[in-house]
A and B are shown apart, each in its own frame.
Chain A
Amino acid sequence: MDLLVVEALAKRFTIHALAREVVAFDAVSFTLRAGQLLLVRGPNGVGKSSLLRCLYRTYLPDAGRALYASTRGPIDLVRAADPDIALLRREEIGHVTQFLRPRPRVSALDLVAEPLIVAGVAPAEARRVAGERLDELGVKRAIWSAFPTTFSGGEQQKVNLARALIAPRRLVLLDEPTAALDPRARDALRERVAALKAEGVALIGVFHHVEDIAGLVDDEIVLQTPT
């Protein structure tokens, strides 16, 4: 069954102060099934990240449809009400960005465990799983209880990844998750993506180094520079 059918999706930004419009991408269409990884390719500035953000609704799309088969019924992500999107973000759709905005005074372990706790997992169990994930990505146990606000970019990125991928999701949007990772963490991410696919999770990814997920890609779309 198709999990996500995107038809003629388009996004442009209107900058009122400059009285200008900037086109991010235009007429994007694709279909994604459960367990598939879709790679989004194209030159820099072509709107790859914007596409993911439109699907996550961090950006409001301008035109087109994105029919998503939620467990609660089909819904068009372009027109869905904000509370519905908030619900999908809590339960079904994950977004992994390059940047972590660590909350102050929350330990790395708690930050990673939080989505699981929100999803109803007992705190002790959530922390155990969070520890496993941090371990996989090579975050040393010694800093699990430290605050990620003080971490280096690479370590922050690992915490971010662990947090973004811990909760059960049906659709995961990966926006250059490997940018600042060391080789060991890249391997771990690759294994995690493979495991997610095996569980039936659908993924859409933008990768700077495509070789990081070699052999896992089921399909790809190439965005063209907007005319």
Chain B
Amino acid sequence: MTDQPPAARPLDPPRLVTGGPLLRASGLRKCYGSIVAVAAVDLEIYPGETVGIVGESGSGKSTVLRLLNLEEPADAGDYRLAVPEGAGGNLFTLDRYHRRMLRVQRIGIVYQQPHLGLRMNATSGGNVAERLIMAGERRFAALRAAARGSLAVSEFPAERVDDPPAQLSGGMQQRVQLAKAIALRPALLLLDEPTTGLDVSIQALVLDTLLRLRREQPIATLIVSHDLGVIRTLADRVLVMRAGRVVEHGLTDQVLEDPQHPYTQQLVHARL
């Protein structure tokens, strides 16, 4: 039953939203040996939008996130960001150097596991400052001020700026990750299960931060989560993934209240 395609109800292409998507990915494919992690995923995020991807473990949602973070090459697909560094081309074809510079300047990420995103034994402030160092900042006072500012925005206690993440709670570690991710005002913010196992205040913080960033500049946000509550709170639109494919996508409340695909109905009702 799950191989059944979504109910055929084609919508018009966007007409009111002008300027095109900030992120456009099409035909994403990634295999690990004989395992097809991502089969064929298309995704567009418009400026100011927050898009969620839900799906069970192994659905390929985290792989999509890693591909979009340019952490590993896709086997096939086209990925574009409307930023100067993207030069209008497929980002999967960038060389290592330009890929790294694009990631530093334009993509922020918060991982589920803080040790993937943080140097656990450097200071929290240093973790944030490193982003600016990578972008060329060489003034200590400026690094210090930026690290403090970014951490303050993440509601991180000022007196702990010089503590290493290894000495912090999980929630505090996520704040450091968030501060690092937004330190350079990214065009694309990727959140990988950012609130799993944490208190709800992180959800509120993430949402507040997104709202504030959105006021300052166009930003595209992608949240990967298996938690429908998180997606409902944070995402404007959602993609439901299963076995490497998008089985359904739509406005978040529509997908949750009026799911079309059998799998989505199962997922939503299982939760209720």
Question: In the complex, what residue of chain B is closest to A79 when comparing beta carbons?
Answer: B12
In this complex, what residue of A is CB-closest to B207? A103
Rounded to whole Å, the gap between the CB of A137 and the closest CB of chain B is 24
- Using Cβ atoms and an 8 Å threshold, which residues of chain B touch A70? 16
Which of A53, A76, A87, A118 has a CB less than 8 Å from the CB of B215? A118
Known contacts A83-B46, A88-B16; A103/B203 CB under 8 A: yes
CA of A40 to CA of B189, assembled, Å: 42
CB-contact partner of A14 in B7, B203, B253, under 8 A: B7
- List CB contacts (< 8 Å) of A1-16 with chain B: 13-16
- Are A84 and B251 touching (Cβ within 8 A)? no
Q: Is there a chain A Cβ closer than 8 Å to B257's Cβ?
A: yes
Q: Are B237 and A83 neighbours in the complex by a CB distance under 8 Å?
A: yes
Given contacts A86-B49, A86-B237, A104-B201, contact A60 B14 (CB under 8 A): no
Chain B residues with Cβ below 8 Å from A103 are 203-204, 207, 233
How far is B17's CA from A84's CA once the two chains are assembled, in angstroms? Answer: 6
The chain A residue with its CB closest to the CB of B234 is A103
**B residues near A76, Cβ cutoff 8 Å:** 12
Determine if A59 is an interface residue (Cβ-Cβ < 8 Å). Answer: yes
Whether B27 is near chain A, meaning CB under 8 Å from some CB there, is: no
Interface of A is mostly: mixed
Specify which of B9, B211, B249 is in contact with A118 (CB 8 Å cutoff).
Answer: B211
Smallest CB separation, B26 vs chain A (Å): 16
Is the CB of A117 closer than 8 A to any CB of chain B?
A: yes
Q: Given B1, B11, B18, which contacts A82 in the complex, CB threshold below 8 Å?
A: B11
In this assembly, does A142 line the interface, its C-beta being within 8 Å of a C-beta of chain B? Answer: no
Chain A residues with CB under 8 A of B18? 72
Q: Which residues of B contact A82 (CB under 8 A)?
A: 11, 237, 249-251
Among the listed stretches B93-101, B136-144, B175-183, B259-267, which one makes contact with chain A, having 4 or more residues with CB under 8 Å of it? B259-267
Q: Is there contact, CB below 8 Å, between B15 and A59?
A: no
Query: Is there an interface contact between A59 and B254, defined as CB atoms closer than 8 Å?
Result: yes
Contact of A60 with B211 at beta-carbon distance under 8 Å, contacts A79-B12, A83-B46, A105-B201 already known: no
- A159: shortest Cβ distance to chain B, in Å? 16
B residues 12-52 with Cβ under 8 Å of A?
12-18, 21, 44, 46, 48-49
List 11 additional A-B contacts (Cβ < 8 Å) besides A57-B251, A83-B21, A106-B208: A15-B265, A17-B262, A60-B9, A82-B11, A85-B251, A86-B46, A103-B203, A103-B204, A105-B204, A117-B211, A117-B215
List B residues at the A interface (Cβ < 8 Å): 1, 7, 9-18, 21, 44, 46, 48-49, 200-201, 203-204, 207-208, 211, 214-215, 232-233, 236-237, 249-251, 253-254, 257-258, 260-262, 265-266, 269
